[in-house]
Amino acid sequence: MQIGPYRLKNQLIVAPMAGVTDQPFRNLCIRYGAAMAVSEMLSSNPDVWDTDKSRLRMTHAGEDGIRSVQIAGSDPELMANAAAVNVQQGAQIIDINMGCPAKKVNKKLAGSALLQDPQQVEAILKAVVAAVDVPVTLKIRTGWAPEHRNGVHIAQIAENCGIASLAVHGRTRQCMYKGEAEYDTIKAIKKQISIPVVANGDILTPEKARFVLDYTGVDALMIGRGAQGRPWIFREIQHYLDTGNKLAPVETDEKRQLMLEHLKMLYALYGDYKGIRFARKHVGWYLNQESQRAFRAEFNRLVTVEEQCSMVEHYFDEFAAN
C-alpha cells in the first residue's frame, strides 16, 4: 500500500488510540511487524499545546517507522494550522480524526460528529490538504447512526479533496464500540473510490484479518484494541496471511522481557509518577485473564518503579517454577 511517497511494508497499521498509542507502544508494534503506527489524537486548539500531554504527543525523537500524526477539531483554519505545526515538528503524514465517538470530542462538533455535516468535512479536508506538503489521511466511521450511514458519500468527498488514504471503522458513532463491526459499508466504500482504503474494527485474530481483507477488498487493516497487551498480534497476523498457518503462542520469556522493557520505556517517557500510572493500564492488558485478577489488583496498588518491576519479575519467576 502506498501513501504519498511512502510504501508500506505490509497491510497492517496500528490504529490511533488516545491514552494508548504513545511512542513506546507505537515502537513496540512496529518492532512486531506493523507497517505504520498512527499517533494519539492531538487537539487542533493551540491553547492546549503547552500541556505536558500535548508536548509528549508532539515529540518524535526516537520514533520508529513513518511518523503519522492524528489531529482533531472542527475549525478548518485551526486544523490547517495544527497540521502545519506538526509537520514542522517532524510529522511525515497528517491524519484527520473524524471517527472518535467520545462525548467530550463530539460536543465540540469534532471527531465523528462531523459526519453529520458533509460541507464542514469538505472545508476541513481542503484546508488541511492545502496547508501541508505531506500526505493527508482521514479516519471515519460508517456514519453518525445506523439509519444514517453516509460513509460512501464522505469517502467520495475525501477523494475529491486530495486525501491520500481513508481508514473506516465499521461502526457508526451511535454504536460506540458495542455490537459487532459491519464491513458491508467498508466494502461499498472500497468499490466507489480509487484511493487506498483501510478497514478497522474487531480485527482481533489472524483469521478475522484474512476474512476482512477478502470480504472488503481493502488495501490494508487497522488494528486497535486487538493490539492492547498484544503488540505481537501484527507478527501473528502477517505470518497467517503469508502461510495460512498460525504461530505458536508467545513464549513466556519473551513476554516477560517485553513487559519489563515496556515499563521502562513508560517511566523514561512520562517520569516515575505518570509512568507508574500508565504501567498499571498496560500490565492490565498484558495479564487480562480472570486467573490474573488478584495480581492486577495488587499491582495497581504499587507506587514505585522498583515495586512494579519487581512484581512483574516475581510473577514470571513463579510462572516458570510451576
Residues classed as catalytic: 100
* Residue 225 annotated in ligand binding: yes
* Residue 90 annotated in ligand binding: no
Which amino acid, residue 296? R
* Residue 16 annotated in ligand binding: yes
| DSSP class of 145 | B
Q: Which one, of 100, 157, 171, 108, lies nearest residue 129 by Cα?
A: 157
Q: Are 265 and 245 in contact (CB under 8 A)?
A: no
Q: Which one, of 224, 232, 305, lies nearest residue 20 by Cα?
A: 224
β-strand pairing of 6-7 with 67-72: unpaired
Helix (H, G, I), strand (E, B) or coil at 279: helix
* Residue 201 annotated in ligand binding: yes
Q: Are 231 and 27 in contact (CB under 8 A)?
A: no
β-strand pairing of 36-38 with 67-72: parallel
* Residue 200 annotated in ligand binding: yes
DSSP string covering 51-111: SHHHHHHT--TT--S-EEEEEE-S-HHHHHHHHHHHHHTT-SEEEEEE----HHHHTTT-G
* Residue 5 annotated in ligand binding: no
* Residue 70 annotated in ligand binding: yes
* Residue 17 annotated in ligand binding: yes
Taking CB atoms within 8 Å and a gap of at least 24, the contacts of 119-122 are 120/74, 120/76, 121/154, 121/157, 121/158, 122/157, 122/160, 122/161
Q: Are 71 and 44 in contact (CB under 8 A)?
A: yes
CA-CA-CA-CA dihedral for 70, 76, 77, 78, to nearest 10: -40
The Cα–Cα gap between 4 and 85 comes to 19
* Residue 169 annotated in ligand binding: yes
Grid coordinates representing 23?
Answer: 511512542
Q: Pick out the residues of the known binding site.
A: 16-18, 70, 139, 169, 200-202, 224-225
Q: Pick out the residues of the known binding site for FMN.
A: 16-18, 70, 139, 169, 200-202, 224-225
